[in-house]
């Protein structure tokens, strides 16, 4: 019942060719995703608490704005992303805290895969969890504000790209601050200014998915999100090794 | 090394400051009044050089951060910190000057302008780097964290700028030779050189202090281990309560 599932050791030939290196990298990424999601599943009360937090934040926004249904519907996209952003720091900090406590990170680093695959595994797991939070928060947001999704395809794309945009720098900064005193404050302080562009793009595109897009602006905001994701998924993957080695 | 860098830093700062006085004398009393904005427009001579300087010193910090990450040497780490600090001070000055200029000309202290917003985001992003640095005790980890956070923050500069630019823009186009008349150009260029020299001088002085601090930290003996917590449970391990 309480048996810990250890991912199978990865093969490491004496002279690794390109193929086996790729298998090792992707295998490592998949193993870390599986491990992180399994940890979250085993502690699912925490995930439920996180979902509850996002919902409560949404409720607070609607109370703060008051019963003005026009204003609520107009800003529904903004509320959704602020709720996601505030929940994300809790999620990201915990995902890295799990590694640092009891020295799990040292164990992970001993696995013969590049440190970058640990980063990509954790960032992808965090993306999945953030999308899950969004899937719960979005219906609540729509119910509270009275907004409706006009183009579901755009909404899905924004949620995935936006979650990825928060997860990559978020996982990276969570690793950077995991052992620093005052990390609960430092993580959002580092993360929030950085992801202003992603937030702008996500809020704009979500609002357009709710109100319709007569001017055809959605593609440029999605492109902005995609560019942000590409830049930070590459840069953070590149620098992650330095951060965990220090 | 130390005394020479001190003299160089102090001399550059002094020359920069003197040039700043000259530039502002020219800007305030000699240069013609700006046709649309009147005397308010004279803030240009301090605002534009500050903006150039802030970006330039962030660029310098970015290069130093790469050097620090690459070589792991203290000198680069101290240089990164020095230039992030100078850049952050300039960004805060920039925000204050910009607000003072915006109020009489645009009628508001704050708007959703790309350069204004980018400056605010920059001040926050680089300010936090300095905060992060204060909170890490272990030297190698601190150097890595500083370098990495500086690189990540600098890469954000163009992305923030273009993302906000797609919102509405109110700011006048970037000042250059084409947009500024020659009698106004002279004090502006002098002020730009002055801010550059002052910034370099301050960076050198700040670099010295930081390097001395890092060396002193290394030379200092380790703190004694914390005393073991009192064991109240009893040595025999008898159950409590």
Predicted confidence (pLDDT) per residue in A74-90, tens digit: 889 999 999 999 999 99
C-alpha span between A242 and B219 (Å, rounded): 25
Min distance A81 CA to chain B CA atoms (Å): 17
Task: Please indicate, yes or no, if residue B224 is contained in any of the structural domains.
Answer: no
**What residues contact residue B6 under an 8 Å CB cut-off, 6+ apart?**
B205, B208
Interface probe for B, chosen from A119, A191, A200 (most Cβ of B below 10 Å), is A200
Q: Do B148 and A190 touch (CB under 8 A)?
A: no
For residue A66, the SS3 value is: coil
The CATH number of the domain holding residue B102 is 1.20.120
Task: Please indicate, yes or no, if residue B205 is contained in any of the structural domains.
Answer: yes
- Give me the domain span that covers residue B148: 2-215
Interface probe for B, chosen from A196, A223, A225 (most Cβ of B below 10 Å), is A196
Helix, strand, coil percentages for chain A (3-state, nearest 5): 80, 0, 20
- Which contacts qualify for B132-139: CB closer than 8 Å, 24 or more apart? B132/A176, B132/A177, B132/A180, B132/A186, B132/A190, B133/B81, B135/A180, B135/A181, B135/A182, B135/A186, B136/A180, B139/B214, B139/B217, B139/B218
Task: Please indicate, yes or no, if residue B107 is contained in any of the structural domains.
Answer: yes
Min distance B55 CA to chain A CA atoms (Å): 17
* Residue B58 near residue B126, CB atoms below 8 Å: yes
Q: Which residue of B has its CA nearest to A226?
A: B159
pLDDT > 90? residue A132: yes
What is the pLDDT confidence band of residue B241, given thresholds at 50, 70 and 90? very low
* Residue A165 near residue A119, CB atoms below 8 Å: no
Q: How many angstroms from the chain centroid is the CA of residue A88?
A: 7
C-alpha span between B130 and B153 (Å, rounded): 12
pLDDT in tens, B99-156: 888 887 777 777 777 778 888 888 999 999 999 998 988 888 899 999 999 999 999 8
pLDDT in tens, A183-200: 888 999 999 999 999 998
Q: Is the ipTM of this complex over 0.90?
A: no
Q: Which residue has the tokens 């301090």?
A: B46
pLDDT > 70? residue B2: no
Q: Where are the domains of chain A?
A: 18-245
Query: CA-CA distances (angstroms) from residue A185 to A58, A246, B3, B189?
Result: 21, 21, 40, 42
The neighbouring-strand residues paired with B34 are: B38
- Nearest CB to B160: which of A173, A177, A196? A196
Torsion over CA of B229, B234, B236 and B238, rounded to 10 degrees?
-130
Task: Please indicate, yes or no, if residue B227 is contained in any of the structural domains.
Answer: no
Q: What are φ and ψ of residue A13, in 5° steps?
A: -70, 160
C-alpha span between B221 and A85 (Å, rounded): 43
Count other Cβ atoms within 10 Å, centred on residue A33.
Answer: 19
pLDDT in tens, B165-223: 776 544 555 666 566 666 777 888 888 888 899 999 999 999 999 999 999 988 888 77
Answer whether B11 touches A (CB < 8 Å). no
Q: Do B153 and A194 touch (CB under 8 A)?
A: yes
pLDDT in tens, A34-49: 988 998 899 888 899 9
Cα atoms in the Cβ-side hemisphere of radius 13 Å centred on A206: 28
Number of domains chain B contains:
1
Task: Please indicate, yes or no, if residue B81 is contained in any of the structural domains.
Answer: yes
Min distance A197 CA to chain B CA atoms (Å): 5
pLDDT in tens, B42-70: 777 888 888 888 999 999 999 999 999 99
- Nearest CB to A200: which of B141, B148, B164? B164
Task: Please indicate, yes or no, if residue B143 is contained in any of the structural domains.
Answer: yes
**What residues contact residue A38 under an 8 Å CB cut-off, 6+ apart?**
A5
For B:152-191, CB contacts with A below 8 A are 152-153, 155-156, 159-160, 162-164, 166-167
Contacts of B164 in chain A (CB under 8 A): 196-197, 200
Q: What is the pLDDT of residue A113?
A: 81
Exposure b/e, B177-189, CB count within 10 A at least 16 = b = eeeeeeebeebbe
Task: Please indicate, yes or no, if residue B79 is contained in any of the structural domains.
Answer: yes
Q: From A164, A30, A36, select the one nearest A98 (Cα to Cα).
A: A36
- Nearest CB to B140: which of A236, A239, A246? A246
What is the pLDDT confidence band of residue B239, given thresholds at 50, 70 and 90? low
Q: What is the pLDDT of residue B169?
A: 47
For residue A31, the SS3 value is: helix
Q: What is the pLDDT of residue B170?
A: 46
The neighbouring-strand residues paired with B38 are: B34
Q: Which residue of B has its CA nearest to A229?
A: B159
The share of chain B scoring above pLDDT 70, in percent, equals 85
- Nearest CB to A181: which of B135, B140, B160? B135
Contacts of B143 in chain A (CB under 8 A): 246
What number of H helices and E strands is found in chain A? 10, 0
Contacts of A165 in chain B (CB under 8 A): none
The share of chain B scoring above pLDDT 90, in percent, equals 29
Alpha helix (H) ranges present in B111-181?
Answer: 114-135, 139-165
Written as six digits, the tokens of A142 are 């729509």
For residue B90, what is the DSSP state? Answer: H
- Nearest CB to A176: which of B124, B145, B167? B145
C-alpha span between B195 and A56 (Å, rounded): 49
For residue B38, the SS3 value is: strand
Answer whether B79 touches A (CB < 8 Å). no
Task: Please indicate, yes or no, if residue B237 is contained in any of the structural domains.
Answer: no
The share of chain A scoring above pLDDT 90, in percent, equals 46
Q: What are φ and ψ of residue B56, in 5° steps?
A: -65, -40
């Amino acid at each position: 019942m309480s048996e810990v599932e250890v991912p199978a050791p990865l093969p490491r030939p004496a002279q690794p060719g390109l193929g086996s290196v790729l298998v090792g990298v992707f295998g490592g990424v998949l193993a870390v995703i599986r491990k992180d999601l399994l940890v979250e599943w085993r502690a699912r009360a925490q995930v439920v608490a996180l979902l509850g937090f996002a919902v409560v934040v949404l409720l607070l926004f609607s109370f703060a704005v008051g019963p003005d249904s026009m204003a609520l519907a107009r800003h529904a996209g903004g509320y959704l992303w602020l709720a996601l952003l505030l929940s994300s720091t809790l999620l990201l900090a915990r995902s890295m805290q799990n590694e640092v406590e009891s020295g799990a990170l040292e164990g992970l680093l001993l696995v013969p895969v590049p440190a970058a695959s640990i980063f990509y595994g954790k960032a992808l797991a965090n993306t999945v969890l953030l999308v899950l939070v969004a899937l719960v928060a979005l219906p609540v947001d729509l119910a509270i504000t009275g907004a409706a999704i006009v183009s579901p395809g755009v909404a899905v794309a924004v949620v995935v790209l936006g979650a990825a945009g928060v997860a990559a720098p978020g996982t990276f900064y969570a690793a950077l601050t995991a052992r620093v005193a005052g990390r609960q404050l430092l993580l959002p302080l580092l993360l929030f200014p950085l992801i202003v562009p992603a937030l702008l793009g996500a809020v704009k595109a979500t609002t357009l998915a709710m109100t319709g897009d007569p001017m055809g602006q959605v593609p440029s905001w999605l492109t902005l999100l995609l560019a942000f994701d590409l830049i930070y998924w590459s840069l953070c993957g590149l620098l992650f090794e330095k951060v965990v080695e220090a | 090394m130390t005394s020479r860098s001190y003299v160089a830093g102090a001399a550059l700062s002094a020359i920069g400051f003197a040039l700043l006085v000259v530039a502002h004398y020219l800007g305030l009393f000699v240069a013609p009044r700006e046709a649309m904005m009147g005397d308010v427009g004279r803030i240009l001579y301090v605002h534009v050089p500050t903006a150039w300087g802030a970006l330039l010193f962030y660029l310098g910090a970015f290069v130093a951060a790469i050097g620090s990450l690459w070589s792991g040497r203290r000198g680069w780490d101290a240089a990164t910190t020095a230039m992030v600090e100078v850049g952050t001070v300039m960004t805060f000055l920039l925000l204050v000057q910009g607000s003072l200029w915006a109020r009489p000309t645009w009628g508001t202290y704050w708007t959703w302008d790309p350069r204004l917003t980018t400056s605010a985001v920059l001040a926050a992003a680089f300010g936090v780097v300095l905060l992060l640095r204060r909170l890490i005790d272990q030297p190698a980890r601190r150097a890595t964290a500083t370098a990495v956070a500086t690189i990540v923050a600098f890469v954000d500069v163009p992305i923030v700028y273009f993302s906000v630019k797609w919102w509405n823009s109110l700011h006048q186009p970037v000042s250059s030779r084409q947009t500024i008349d020659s009698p106004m150009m002279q004090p502006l260029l002098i002020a730009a050189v002055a801010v550059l020299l002052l910034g370099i001088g301050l960076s050198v002085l700040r670099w010295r202090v930081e390097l001395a601090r890092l060396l002193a930290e290394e030379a200092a003996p380790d703190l004694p281990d914390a005393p073991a917590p009192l064991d109240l449970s009893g040595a025999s391990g008898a159950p409590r309560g």
